[in-house]
Amino acid sequence: MSHSTQTLAIKHPRLKTLHTFWDLTRGSRRYPARADFAFKDLRQWLGHIALIDVVQRPPRFRIRLLGVRLVEYAGADHTGQWIDECVAPEGIDDALEPYVTCVNTGAPVFRLSRYFNPRSTKSVLERLLLPCSSDQKTIDIILGCTYVESEPPGTSR
């Protein structure tokens, strides 16, 4: 390959597999296009997938598709909504940071974070964001995948 991929500290085996699949799908290009991924190819990740439209200058992020597991976890289906309208005002910067980083660096972004969901259970989120571009210049969609692991009771924050 003519380009390097930074080593991400991905822990979840399915996220590692998706990162490898993204890398193989792009081949010698900087990015794959969304059209390069058929739903049948993404079957093993489908419930955990989010497709995020990137509207440029300044970048804004709209949820095109939210997998059923993510809908269950969030307690609502945010499909069609802007991410900045789905979170409390004080949480917007934190919510947008990985997406902005993905667009600004043009590289995959991995985040491991603790989260209290609306049902007030403490969880660890492993999220991988993969940039896609239909013209190889502008990132127009982010393929995201998130796995949620509930923390054992008594785990400190």
Give residue-wise pLDDT tens across range 22-40: 999 999 999 999 999 988 8
Distance CA 91, CA 88 (A): 5
User: Is 5 contained in some domain?
Assistant: no
Query: DSSP secondary-structure letter at 76?
Result: S
Distances from the Cα of 17 to the Cα of 42, 73, 125, angstroms: 11, 22, 17
User: Is 50 contained in some domain?
Assistant: yes
User: Is 115 contained in some domain?
Assistant: yes
Q: Is the pLDDT of residue 21 over 90?
A: yes
pLDDT digits (tens, 9 = 90+) for 59-80: 899 999 999 999 988 888 999 9
Phi/psi of residue 66, nearest 5 degrees: -125, 120
Distance CA 53, CA 62 (A): 5
CATH number (domain holding residue 112): 3.30.450.20
Query: DSSP secondary-structure letter at 82?
Result: B
Distance CA 145, CA 129 (A): 7
User: Is 93 contained in some domain?
Assistant: yes
Nearest-5° angle of CA 145, CA 108, CA 16?
A: 55
User: Is 111 contained in some domain?
Assistant: yes
User: Is 102 contained in some domain?
Assistant: yes
Q: What is the pLDDT of residue 7?
A: 57
Mean per-residue pLDDT of the chain: 86
Range of the domain at 54: 13-150
pLDDT digits (tens, 9 = 90+) for 105-131: 999 999 988 766 555 566 788 999 999
Q: Which residue has the higher pLDDT, 150 or 24?
A: 24
Q: Is the pLDDT of residue 15 over 60?
A: yes
Which phi-psi region, left, alpha or beta, contains residue 131 (left: φ > 0; alpha: ψ -120 to 50)? Answer: beta
Q: What is the pLDDT of residue 152?
A: 52
User: Is 8 contained in some domain?
Assistant: no
User: Is 118 contained in some domain?
Assistant: yes
Between the two ends of the chain, the Cα-to-Cα distance in Å is 41
- Count up the domains in the chain and report the number: 1
Query: DSSP secondary-structure letter at 151?
Result: P
Query: DSSP secondary-structure letter at 21?
Result: H
